[in-house]
Amino acid sequence: MSAKFFFNQVSRFWILVGIITLVTLFRFWYSTQLELTGDEAYYWYCSRHLDWSFFDKGPGAALVIFLATHLFGDTVFGVRFFAVLLSAVTGIGLFLLATMLYSEEVAFGTLLVVLCMPLYAVGSILMTIDPLSIFFWTIGASCFWKALHGNSIAKTDSSFFWWIATGISVGMGALAKYTNFIELFCFFLFCLSNGKHRLQLKRFPFYLMLLLALLFFLPMVLWNEKHHWVGLMHLLQRGDLNKSWHITPSEFLIFMGAQAGVISPLIFLGVMISVFWPQFRVEKAEQTRFLQALFLPLFCFYSFLSLNKAAEPNWPAPCYVAGIILLVGNWESLQKKIPWIRKLVFWAFLIAALQTVLLHNTWWLHLSLPRSLEQSTNAWTRKAIACYHYLGSVDPLDRARGAHSLALHAQELAMKQGAEFIISDNYQTASLFSFYLDGHPETYEPVFHPIKDQFSLWPTYRDRFNTGSKALFIYLWRYPPRELLNDFSRIQLLEEFYSTTGNRPLKKYYFSICIGLKAH
C-alpha cells in the first residue's frame, strides 16, 4: 500500500467524519428551535401508552421516543434526539452502501446530494416514522447486498449472518412504517430478474430472511385482530381505497410536483432519468438493477395510488436512498450521453441547497412590504405580492409553531372556569396540549363513532371522570361535534383565540366550556 493511497483514505475518512459531525451538531441545536408538530406530539403521547401496535402505525416511533425521553425528559430535545442521531447513522449507512456498490467517490457524491435535499434535511430533525423507516431501509439494503456477496466482500462465508440481519432490519423498519415490508418484494424482484442470483429464491436463507421480517409483523397483526382490524381500515382510508376508484390526472400531477419540490427539481429529474431511461444505464449492470429494484416498487406503488388521490410528499422517501445512489453512480455515463448536462450540476446543488436553507428559517415569508409596493397598480406587481402573501400563509414551519401559546391560554382559561380536563377535536391538537400543559395531563377527544383514531381506543373522559364534571373544549370549527353535545348537559362558547409565534397570529381556535358530564 503506497503512502499516497493511505493518506487519501485517511483524509476521506476525516472529511466524512467532519461533515457528519458538523451537520449533526447543527441539527441537535436546530431541533430545539421549533415546537413539536402534531404528529411528533402524537407519537410522544403514544410513548406514554406503549402497546404492540396503534391505530395507524406500529410501535416503532413510540418506542424510540420512550427511550429518549427517559434519558432526556419530556422535552423537545428528548422527543427529537433519535431523529437527529438516526439521520447521522443513516448518512454513514448511505456512504457504506454506495461504497459497496460503486466507490468512495460515488459515496461522497451521494452524501453531498442527500445533505442538500429538502426532504431528508428537514425530515432529519422531526421525530416521525420517516427517520426510522429510512434508516432501516438503508441498513436492510446494505445487509442484503452483503448476503448476496458475502464471500467476495468479507473473504469468508459470512452470508448467513447477513441474511438474518436483513430480515431483522426490514422487520424493525416495519415497526415504524408498514410499507417497509415492500423492501422484501424489492429483494425478490432483484433476484428474479438476475440470473446470477435467481437460485437464492430456492435456498433456505432467503426464506429465513422473510420469516424473521414477518415475525416482527405478528404482534401488530394480533393487535389489529383484537381491535377489529382498525389499522387495515385506516390504510384503506389513507389511500382513498375505501371509495370507488377513479383516475384523476390532476392528483397524479400534484404528487409528481410535490416530489420535485421536496427532492429539488433538477435532482428529481436526474433520478427519473437514471431510473427510467435504459440508454443511460450502461455500466455496473448488477448494481443498477439492484438499485432499480429498490426504487421502483415503492415509487410506482405511490404513483399508482396518486392516480386516484395524491400521496403525501414524504411517503416514498425510502426509495430515494436507491435513486440518489443510482444517479451519482451513473453520472459518468450520463455525461457521456448528454455532455451539456454537466452544466446543470452547479444549478442542481445551488437550488437544492437554497431550498434547504430557506426551509430552515422562513422569516423572509413574513416581511412587511413597502407601502409603495402594496399600493402599486401594476398588474404583474400585484400578482407577485399576492403570491408572496400566499406563501406566507402556507409557511411549512408554521406546523411547528403556536402550540405553546395555545396551551398556556388553555391552562389559564381552564383554571378560571374550573374545568377538570381538556378535550380537543383531533388527535394532533390533543397530543400537543398534553405535551405543553404543566404536568403533561391526559387529554381527550370526543368519543367518536365510528372510531376515528387512537384516542378512541384509549380510556375516555367517560371512563375517568364523574358525572357532572366540567371540561374545556378547544377546536378549529365554531360548532362542537354531535358526539360532544350528547355527552354534556350544556356547551357554552367562551371566546375565539389565535395561536401565535412571536407577535404573528397563526390559527384561530374556539374555546368552549362543557358543563355537566352525563352518566353513561
pLDDT at position 5 is: 46
- Identify how many contiguous H helices and E strands the chain contains and give both numbers: 24, 4
pLDDT at 460 over 80: yes
pLDDT at position 298 is: 95
State the average pLDDT over residues 365-392: 73
Instruction: Please tell me the distance from the alpha carbon of residue 125 to that of residue 438, in angstroms, as a whole number.
Output: 25
Instruction: Please tell me the distance from the alpha carbon of residue 85 to that of residue 140, in angstroms, as a whole number.
Output: 18
Percentage of residues of the chain with pLDDT beyond 70: 91
State the pLDDT confidence band at 280, using cuts at 50, 70 and 90: low
State the average pLDDT over residues 405-418: 94
State the average pLDDT over residues 191-200: 90
In this prediction the pTM is: 0.91
Strand partners, 18: none
Ranges of H-type helices in 48-128: 60-72, 76-101, 104-116, 118-123
pLDDT at 258 over 80: yes
Mind listing the pLDDT tens digit for each residue in 3-22? 444 445 556 777 888 888 99
In this structure, how many other beta carbons lie within 10 angstroms of the beta carbon of residue 245? 9
pLDDT at 240 over 50: yes
Mind listing the pLDDT tens digit for each residue in 346-357? 888 899 999 999
pLDDT at 271 over 90: yes
Instruction: Please tell me the distance from the alpha carbon of residue 19 to that of residue 1, in angstroms, as a whole number.
Output: 27
pLDDT at position 227 is: 84
State the average pLDDT over residues 21-40: 94
Instruction: Please tell me the distance from the alpha carbon of residue 109 to that of residue 75, in angstroms, as a whole number.
Output: 35
State the pLDDT confidence band at 418, using cuts at 50, 70 and 90: very high
In this structure, what C-alpha cell is assigned to residue 455? Answer: 384516542
pLDDT at position 367 is: 76
Distances (CA, A) of 465 to 16, 123, 419, 421: 56, 39, 12, 9
Residue identified by cell 366540567 is 470
* 3-state percent helix, strand, coil for the chain, nearest multiple of 5: 70, 5, 25
Nearest to 125 by CA among 68, 19, 67, 40: 40
pLDDT at 276 over 90: no
The number of residues in the chain equals 520
Instruction: Please tell me the distance from the alpha carbon of residue 104 to that of residue 279, in angstroms, as a whole number.
Output: 25
Mind listing the pLDDT tens digit for each residue in 42-88? 999 999 999 999 998 899 999 999 999 999 999 999 999 999 999 99
Nearest to 84 by CA among 45, 49, 34: 34
State the average pLDDT over residues 124-147: 95
Q: Are strands 471-475 and 488-501 parallel, antiparallel or unpaired?
A: unpaired
Instruction: Please tell me the distance from the alpha carbon of residue 396 to that of residue 80, in angstroms, as a whole number.
Output: 18
pLDDT at position 281 is: 52
State the pLDDT confidence band at 152, using cuts at 50, 70 and 90: very low
Instruction: Please tell me the distance from the alpha carbon of residue 506 to that of residue 32, in angstroms, as a whole number.
Output: 20
Percentage of residues of the chain with pLDDT beyond 90: 61
Task: Break the chain into its structural domains and give their ranges.
Answer: 15-356, 369-398, 401-517
pLDDT at 307 over 70: yes
